[in-house]
Structure 1
Amino acid sequence: MRITISGLPGSGTTSLTYHLAEIHRFDVISAGEVFRQMAKERELSLADFGIFCEEDPSVDKLIDERQREIVLSNSHIIAEGRLSGWMIPEADLKIWLKASLECRVMRIFDRDRFSDPQVAMQETKDREGCEALRYKQYYDIDIGSLSPYHLVLDSEMWTVEQLGIIVSSAIDTLQKSG
């Protein structure tokens, strides 16, 4: 089974991905982790690396193409990334996680150790705007459209364990019907 988990920064995609991978023994490919590592290697903030990617579309396309290749070569994997649901239409289950901007920024503030919540808020807004622009330019994708997703779940309402129960139920149902 191939699963994609997508959502805006701080929505909990990484947490849910690794939670499900542990429960169901899925392999994982994470576009966000690759993106963060590439930013770190260049000693750039995520927002600054996003600007760099605006100037060099090959970076985003390389991440997206590599993720797709890996997923299609593995029949038991979770692909975690903003565009995974769009880039891997063959996935058996495509999930979008949502949460309010305020909730997501507080998670980002804690995770990325920002010194000021307002800085975290501004960088998150800048990053999301930059990404939305790139996705539209590169692939004609409106990141606000949820059309490719089978499940849209509120990660502000549910804990990662509760989300795991919901998604595990969907996985079990799909496996029984397939």
Structure 2
Amino acid sequence: MRITISGLPGSGTTSLTYHLAEMHRLDVISAGEVFRQMARERGLTLAEFGSFCEEDPSVDKLIDERQREIALSNTHIIAEGRLSGWMIQEADLKIWLKASLECRVRRIFDRDQFSDLTAAMQATKEREACEALRYQQYYDIDIGSLSPYHLVLDTEMWTVEQLAIIVSSAIQTLQKSE
């Protein structure tokens, strides 16, 4: 089973990805983790690294190509990332996670240890605008379009455990139809 999990920053993609990976013994390739690691290696914030990527498209394309390559070489994997559902068209199940901006900013505030919510809100808005522009320029992708996804889940409504039950049901249904 090849699965993609996508969503805007703070929507819970990483949490659900690793929960499902453990439940179903699936490998994981995470574009966000690669992106954050590359930003840290350069001593840049996510917003600064995003701006750098705007100037040098090769970084984004390298991350996207590598994730696609790994996902296609493995039939038991979850590819987690904003564009995974767009880039890995061969996936058996493509999931988009959604949550309000306010909810996502609270999660980002906690995760990334911002000094205050206003700073987290500003950084999140800048990051999302930067990413949306890059995706449009590089791939002609409107990140707001949910057209490639089979399943859209509201992470404000469900806990990660409940989301995993919903997705597991979809996985089981797909496996029965194979």
What's the TM-score once normalised by structure 1's chain length?
1.00
**What residue is the counterpart of 1:148 in the other structure?**
148
**What residue is the counterpart of 1:63 in the other structure?**
63
1:121 Cα shift?
0.2
**What residue is the counterpart of 1:123 in the other structure?**
123
**What residue is the counterpart of 2:18 in the other structure?**
18
- Aligned residue for 2:85, secondary structure, equals helix
Q: Which runs of 5+ in 2 are unaligned?
A: none
CA distance in 2, matches of 1:32, 1:40: 12
Q: What is the one-letter code of the residue matched to 1:80?
A: E
**What residue is the counterpart of 2:36 in the other structure?**
36
Does residue 170 (structure 1) correspond to residue 149 (structure 2)? The answer is no
Over 6 Å off, 4+ runs: none
**What residue is the counterpart of 1:76 in the other structure?**
76
- Aligned residue for 2:62, secondary structure, equals helix
Q: What is the one-letter code of the residue matched to 2:163?
A: L
Q: What is the one-letter code of the residue matched to 1:27?
A: D
CA distance in 1, matches of 2:139, 2:108: 27
CA distance in 2, matches of 1:157, 1:60: 32
Q: Which runs of 5+ in 1 are unaligned?
A: none
Percentage identity across aligned positions?
A: 87
CA distance in 1, matches of 2:39, 2:117: 21
CA distance in 2, matches of 1:170, 1:61: 30
Q: What is the one-letter code of the residue matched to 1:50?
A: G
CA distance in 2, matches of 1:68, 1:151: 20
Q: What is the one-letter code of the residue matched to 1:118?
A: T
1:107 Cα shift?
0.1
1:87 Cα shift?
0.1
- Aligned residue for 2:32, secondary structure, equals helix
1:135 Cα shift?
0.1
- Aligned residue for 1:89, secondary structure, equals coil
- Aligned residue for 1:95, secondary structure, equals strand
CA distance in 1, matches of 2:110, 2:123: 14
- 1:6-60, Cα deviation, whole Å (9 max, x unpaired): 0000000000000000000000000000000000000100000000000000000
CA distance in 1, matches of 2:37, 2:156: 26
Q: What is the one-letter code of the residue matched to 1:70?
A: I
What's the TM-score once normalised by structure 2's chain length?
1.00
